[in-house]
Amino acid sequence: MNDAVVIVGGGHAAGAFAAALRQAGHTGPVTIVGAEPLAPYQRPPLSKAWLKGEASSDDLLLRPESFYAEKSVTLRLSTRVSGIDATARIVTLENGESLAYEQLVIATGSRLRQLDVPGVRSQGVLELRTAADAEAIKARISQGVRMAIVGGGYVGLEVAASARSLGAEVTVIEREPRLLARVASEPLSAFFERRHREQGVQLMLGATVSAFDAQDGRLTGVRLANGRSLACDVAVVGIGALGEDTLAKAAGLTCSDGIVVDEQCRTSDPHIHAIGDCTRRPVPRYGLQQMRLESVPNALEQARQAAADLCGKPAVKSEVPWFWSDQYDVRLQIVGLPVDVAQRVVRGDAAAGKFAVYHLDAQGRLQCVEAVNAPAEFVAARQWAGASMVLDAARIADASIAVKDIPVKAPVA
Ligand SMILES: Cc1cc2nc3c(=O)[nH]c(=O)nc-3n(C[C@H](O)[C@H](O)[C@H](O)COP(=O)(O)OP(=O)(O)OC[C@H]3O[C@@H](n4cnc5c(N)ncnc54)[C@H](O)[C@@H]3O)c2cc1C
């Protein structure tokens, strides 16, 4: 395949795709157009090791910049695509230039949900999506600084853990009655609530932010809908993200909070694929037609799927989705999705910080496992959930049975 390929977006999916495309034998021109000044980099460390000063900027890069030159991949950084003409097969850039393509790959990631309350533009109200955002947050963290984190999801909690370990006074404000309400089971939420409280983080649950207070444009506090308020020096808003499908929608592609794609990452236009956070994709293991996954494993998988499709290689099958989060000394690994869950079994000791929550459907098939400091359970569960293995709840709960010996029945056909 020698077609000119243009990739819109220069993040994790874009970088992985360019490499996969060359590996699959594509020899034509490839151009990555990315709005950020950095070559494709990893976002997970932004809220973890990098924020704590344990990783350098070079550690963030997926590959050294020289890789792209060696592979004849043109990097157009600090360059935003402003439009796609799907009929003429041209993308226009914000600087007025245009680029022709035979095949376009959209990898525009996600955009952060905005909190629409008075004072949100005050100096000191920050958010975290890019390395530049992380830089701004890092610059504000110091011993004793009062930090309010709006949103008790993964990113908010990782920032809380990192800031706390650097000596900040941290309060997490979460609208739902529990942390991680949309993305984790109750036992896991309860575990993280305990862990953050033990580390000195204040948690305000079931609390809605109604305004940010400021003096001379600088943040001084957060006001809640219940009338309470909290003084703070800096706030980080992390209330989730939406698929960045603005360009795709304007170009007439089928979108629904994300660009709708099939298992080969094809969009509704035969010359356009889409990959990563910006897509809404099938997850065949669970019979789901459209789901938005925001994770590195998803970006890597779709990069391989799209590259194989464009190069006429055998289709790359979708794996069971998985994800991780690091907070303090806790490594959480989640595999699968909690779809049609009829029974939940906890294995191990949450109080000791090492346990796993198994989710089974009505037939006893393993749908999902949330593993806390339990890598062996995660590795085994990846295989079992992929194979729709039927497991026995009593054997899961029995810690005297080794993980590998839990299964006793054959996979369901
Ligand atoms: C702080 C943080 C921590 C995370 N931690 C984890 C984790 O622990 N585990 C995990 O699995 N995932 C984690 N994620 C999610 C993971 O980083 C994303 O799923 C992944 O980056 C998706 O890759 P992507 O290429 O689709 O999007 P992105 O990496 O976001 O890249 C999209 C790029 O497209 C650019 N772009 C958008 N529009 C345009 C345009 N019009 N023109 C040009 N460029 C454009 C954007 O500027 C951006 O650089 C984390 C994310 C964040 C922000």
- CATH code for the domain in which residue 209 is found: 3.50.50.60
Is residue 10 domain-resident?
yes
For ligand 1, what atom is nearest to the CA of residue 79?
A: 43
Judged against a pLDDT cut of 80, whether residue 412 lies above it is answered with no
* Structural domain containing residue 152: 125-237
Ligand 1 shell residues, CB under 6 Å: 8-14, 33-36, 43-44, 46-47, 80-81, 107-109, 128-129, 155, 244, 247, 276-278, 294-297, 299, 323-325
Is residue 324 domain-resident?
no
Is residue 209 domain-shared with residue 232, that is, in the same domain?
A: yes
Of 95, 97, 128, 296, the residue with max ligand 1 atoms within 8 A of its CB, to mutate for a pocket test, comes to 296
Is residue 191 domain-resident?
yes
The pair of three-digit structure tokens given for residue 213, joined into one six-digit string: 């207070």
**Per-residue confidence (pLDDT) for residue 2, from 0 to 100:** 86
Judged against a pLDDT cut of 80, whether residue 177 lies above it is answered with yes
For ligand 1, what atom is nearest to the CA of residue 293?
A: 19
Is residue 322 domain-resident?
no
| 335 vs 378: CA distance, rounded Å | 7
Judged against a pLDDT cut of 90, whether residue 380 lies above it is answered with yes
Measured in angstroms, how far is the CA atom of residue 216 from the centroid of ligand 1?
34
Is residue 199 domain-shared with residue 288, that is, in the same domain?
A: no
Judged against a pLDDT cut of 60, whether residue 130 lies above it is answered with yes
Is residue 412 domain-resident?
no
DSSP 355-393: EEEEEE-TT-BEEEEEEES-HHHHHHHHHHHHTT-B--H
**Per-residue confidence (pLDDT) for residue 57, from 0 to 100:** 82
For ligand 1, what atom is nearest to the CA of residue 15?
A: 25
Is residue 205 domain-shared with residue 145, that is, in the same domain?
A: yes
Of 12, 130, 158, the residue with max ligand 1 atoms within 8 A of its CB, to mutate for a pocket test, comes to 12
Is residue 1 very low, low, confident or very high in pLDDT (cuts 50, 70, 90)? confident
Measured in angstroms, how far is the CA atom of residue 133 from the centroid of ligand 1?
13
Measured in angstroms, how far is the CA atom of residue 108 from the centroid of ligand 1?
8
Is residue 58 very low, low, confident or very high in pLDDT (cuts 50, 70, 90)? confident
Look at residues 187, 190, 156 and name the one whose alpha carbon lies nearest to residue 172: 156
Q: CA–CA distance from 255 to each of 111, 132, 252, 269, 309 (Å)?
A: 15, 29, 9, 12, 21
| 388 vs 80: CA distance, rounded Å | 43
**Per-residue confidence (pLDDT) for residue 332, from 0 to 100:** 98
| For residues 370-395, average pLDDT | 96
Is residue 25 domain-shared with residue 66, that is, in the same domain?
A: yes
| For residues 234-241, average pLDDT | 97
Residue ending a domain, choose from 222, 237, 252: 237
Is residue 304 domain-resident?
yes
For ligand 1, what atom is nearest to the CA of residue 298?
A: 19
Atom 6, ligand 1: residue with shortest CA distance: 44
pLDDT digits 0-9 by tens, 261-282: 999 999 999 999 999 999 999 9
Q: What does pLDDT average to over the chain?
A: 96
CATH of the domain at 354: 3.30.390.30
Is residue 215 very low, low, confident or very high in pLDDT (cuts 50, 70, 90)? very high
Number of domains in the chain: 3
**Per-residue confidence (pLDDT) for residue 413, from 0 to 100:** 54
| 383 vs 156: CA distance, rounded Å | 30
| For residues 98-127, average pLDDT | 98
The pair of three-digit structure tokens given for residue 378, joined into one six-digit string: 């995660």
Is residue 411 very low, low, confident or very high in pLDDT (cuts 50, 70, 90)? low
Atom 48, ligand 1: residue with shortest CA distance: 11
| 377 vs 371: CA distance, rounded Å | 7
Is residue 355 very low, low, confident or very high in pLDDT (cuts 50, 70, 90)? very high
339 Cβ partners below 8 Å, 6+ apart?
286, 288, 361, 367, 368
Residue ending a domain, choose from 237, 268, 291: 237
For ligand 1, what atom is nearest to the CA of residue 241?
A: 53
pLDDT digits 0-9 by tens, 9-55: 999 999 999 999 999 999 999 999 999 999 999 999 999 999 999 98
